[in-house]
Structure 1
Amino acid sequence: MPRTSPSVSVTRRLRGRAMGLVVAGTALALAAPIPATATTAADPAPARAAAAADPVSVLKYTAKERRAALAYWTPARIKAVGKSVDLGPTGPKTKPYKGAPLKTVGRLFFVNANGADTWCTGTAVKSANKSIVMTAAHCVRRGSSPYNTNMDMVFVPGYSKGKQPYGAFAVRSAATPRSFETKSVNDMAALVVDADKKGRKLTDVVGAQDIAFNRAVGGKVTALGYPATRPHLGEKLLHCVGTAKKEHGLQFIPCDMSGGSSGGPWLADFDATTGKGTLVSVNSAGDALIATKMYGELFKATAKKVYDRAQHA
Structure 2
Amino acid sequence: MRRKLLASGVALGLLGATALATPAHAANVVSAPLAFSAAEAQQVAAFWLADGAANLKAATPFAPPHEVRGERTSGAIVPSTQPVQYNPVAPLAEGDLPQTAGKVFFVGGDEQPHWCSGAAVHTQYRNVVATAAHCVYDTVGAPVTTHNWVFIPGSAEGATPFGLYVGKRAFTHYDFTQYQDHDRDFAFVNVYSGVVPSADGTLTTNGRLADIVGGQGLTFNQEINETTAPAVDIFGFPAGPHPDGTRPYTGQSLERSTGRTSAMSLSSPPADQLVGVESPFTGDGSLGSAWLKDYSDEHGLGYLNGITTGVSDTDGDGRYDTGASPYFDTELAMIFKAAAASWTGRIT
Contact 1:144 1:183 in 2 (8 A): no
Give the number of equivalent residue pairs: 261
Contact 1:100 1:274 in 2 (8 A): no
Partner Cα separation in structure 1 for residue 294 and residue 321 of structure 2: 23
Q: Paired residue for 1:78?
A: 56
For residue 276 of structure 1, the aligned residue among 283, 301, 305 is 301
TM-score scaled to structure 2, two decimals? 0.69
**Is 1:305–2:334 an aligned residue pair?**
yes
**Is 1:219–2:219 an aligned residue pair?**
no
Deviations 1:6-63 (A, max 9, x none): xxxxxxxx99xxxxxxxxxxxxxxxxxxx961536xxxxxx95x54723111110222
Partner Cα separation in structure 2 for residue 180 and residue 84 of structure 1: 18
Q: Paired residue for 2:259?
A: 242
The amino acid of 1:65's aligned partner reads E
Query: Shift of residue 153 of structure 1?
Result: 0.4
Deviations 1:122-155 (A, max 9, x none): 1111112110111111111144854432110010
Q: Which runs of 5+ in 2 are unaligned?
A: 3-14, 64-94, 196-204, 241-246, 266-272, 343-348
Partner Cα separation in structure 1 for residue 161 and residue 178 of structure 2: 38
Q: Paired residue for 2:79?
A: none
Alpha-carbon distance change, 145 to 151 in structure 1, aligned in 2, over 3 angstroms? same
The amino acid of 1:174's aligned partner reads A
For residue 213 of structure 2, the aligned residue among 192, 206, 218 is 206
Query: Shift of residue 290 of structure 1?
Result: 4.9
Deviations 1:215-234 (A, max 9, x none): 22321111111122446532
Q: Paired residue for 1:192?
A: 190
Q: Paired residue for 2:26?
A: 53
**Is 1:117–2:117 an aligned residue pair?**
no
1:32-43 alignment, distance < 5 Å: 37=17, 39=19
Partner Cα separation in structure 2 for residue 278 and residue 83 of structure 1: 26
**Is 1:169–2:165 an aligned residue pair?**
yes
Partner Cα separation in structure 1 for residue 263 and residue 159 of structure 2: 37
The amino acid of 1:201's aligned partner reads R
What is the aligned-residue RMSD (CA, Å)? Answer: 2.7
Q: Paired residue for 1:267?
A: 292
Higher strand share goes to which structure? 2
1:126-145 alignment, distance < 5 Å: 126-143=122-139, 145=141
Aligned residues: percent identity? 27
Tell me which structure has the larger Cα radius of gyration.
Answer: 2
Contact 2:54 2:158 in 1 (8 A): no
